Amino acid sequence: MNKIGILTGGGDCPGLNPVIRAVVRKGINEGYEIIGIKNGWKGMIENDTIPLDINAVSGILPKGGTILGTSRTNPYKNPGDIEKVKVNFQKIGLYALIAVGGEDTLGVANKLISDGLPNIVGVPKTIDNDLSATDYTFGFDTAVNIATECIDRLHTTAESHHRIIVAEVMGRHAGWIAIESGIAGGADVILIPEIPIDIEEVCNVIKKRHARGKTFSIIVVAEGAHFKEGTFVTQEQKLDAFGHVRLGGIGEQLAQEIEKRTGYETRVSVLGHIQRGGSPTAFDRVLGTKFGVKAVELVQNKKFGRMVALSGTRIIDVPLQEAVKTLKTVDKELYEVAKVFFG
């Protein structure tokens, strides 16, 4: 009754280590033994674990990534893997498991609950901020701050060279990173997956800026954005274990189109994994810490099948299935705020 396992799955993000530290500190205070499961669901399939005591999590609060490692392994992909997860759950002697992840990792947790492993609670993570039932996921704030700093830097070089610079940011099929970093960085146009790109309109904004003496422009585009006529751009055709494509390349296509139509010199900067690496912001450290403590409380209170979440400034818990039901995308209201500053 006293062993709690913790795993981190999917793309890493800043704030995972604060969660692990909080689970270990709170768990040990409450008399639990904490077992780290290595590399997400892969560790449950392979029985790859590491005991976590207070010393094991000392000094990890400001570190990016995850000390447990991660993977995009889907135990529902290969026949027989779910059985291994169940057997290892028993072998390790787990009472409960805390799964820290995004839609994929938590989707697996949700299925496992109905497939005979009920003692699971979820903690939402992703730089994309696209999980329903929580106002924010940790990792997002750090990614937005990094992207904002990059946009600031792109501004100075764009202005000096009288160029258009397209900054392509991550976020998968949601435009949260683009819209928030674009607003914070004072982008002249922000393009998100939720609203198809009207290239005529984008070029008109740029030309109008030139007409009033602004011979440079910064365009922020989300990797999942697409032209009105087309669909999202991918780096390769291969799908991962959860059926996702690798997005990327819309920035280059957009830059070529802008240069062709306006005649202005245009460059692209793909921010990529820079947005996911490095130290978490104070906001993400605090959010991760609160989530970790709350996750242990859910185990103590036998509130299984639930996920910790942020509602306003309060940490609450919600059914796991609520979180993975639909993708949380950018609302029209926020886009209207961003639009005020286009041009």
Q: Active-site residue numbers?
A: 128
Binding span for ligand F6P by CB under 6 A among 35-43, 85-93, 150-158, 167-175: 167-175
Per rule CB under 6 A, is residue 171 in the interface with ligand F6P?
yes
Per rule CB under 6 A, is residue 129 in the interface with ligand F6P?
no
| Residue window 264-303: x/- pattern of binding to ligand F6P, with contact defined by CB under 6 A | ------------x---------------------------
Closest CA to 328 of 309, 315, 306, 341: 309
Per rule CB under 6 A, is residue 42 in the interface with ligand F6P?
no
Residues numbered 11 to 30 that lie near ligand F6P (CB under 6 A) are 11
What string of DSSP letters covers 37-72?
Answer: ETTTHHHHHHT-EEEE-TGGGTT-TT--S-TT----
CB of 40 to ligand F6P, least distance (A): 12
Instruction: Please report where in the chains the tokens 């926020």 appear, as a residue.
Output: 334
Residues 155, 214: Cα–Cα separation, whole Å = 12
Residue closer to ligand F6P (CB basis): 196 or 277: 277
| Residue window 211-240: x/- pattern of binding to ligand F6P, with contact defined by CB under 6 A | ------------x-----------------
Of the residues 44, 170, 190, 218, which one makes contact with ligand F6P according to CB under 6 A: 170
Per rule CB under 6 A, is residue 128 in the interface with ligand F6P?
yes
Total residues at interface with ligand F6P (CB under 6 A):
11
CB of 170 to ligand F6P, least distance (A): 3
Q: Write out 263-276 in H/E/C secondary structure.
A: CCCEEEEECHHHHH
Of the residues 131, 144, 164, 247, which one makes contact with ligand F6P according to CB under 6 A: 247
Per rule CB under 6 A, is residue 126 in the interface with ligand F6P?
yes
Binding span for ligand F6P by CB under 6 A among 25-33, 35-43, 44-52, 121-129: 121-129
Element (H, E) at 87: helix 81-92
Residues 186, 219: Cα–Cα separation, whole Å = 10
Q: For ligand F6P, which residue has the nearest CB?
A: 170
341 near 183, Cβ under 8 Å?
yes
Residues 4, 23: Cα–Cα separation, whole Å = 9
265 near 164, Cβ under 8 Å?
yes
Residues numbered 45 to 64 that lie near ligand F6P (CB under 6 A) are none
CB of 292 to ligand F6P, least distance (A): 20
CB of 54 to ligand F6P, least distance (A): 30
Binding span for ligand F6P by CB under 6 A among 1-9, 164-172, 202-210, 257-265: 164-172
Residue closer to ligand F6P (CB basis): 42 or 276: 276
How many other C-beta atoms can be found within 10 angstroms of the C-beta atom of residue 195?
A: 16
Binding span for ligand F6P by CB under 6 A among 63-71, 114-122, 123-131, 296-304: 123-131
Q: Beta strands 120-124 and 96-101: pairing type? A: parallel
100 near 16, Cβ under 8 Å?
yes
3-class SS of residue 130: coil
CB of 167 to ligand F6P, least distance (A): 14
Residues 249, 133: Cα–Cα separation, whole Å = 30
The CA-based dihedral angle spanning residues 72, 77, 81, 83, taken in that order and rounded to the nearest 10 degrees: 120
Chain positions contacting ligand F6P, by CB under 6 A? 11, 126-128, 170-172, 223, 246-247, 276
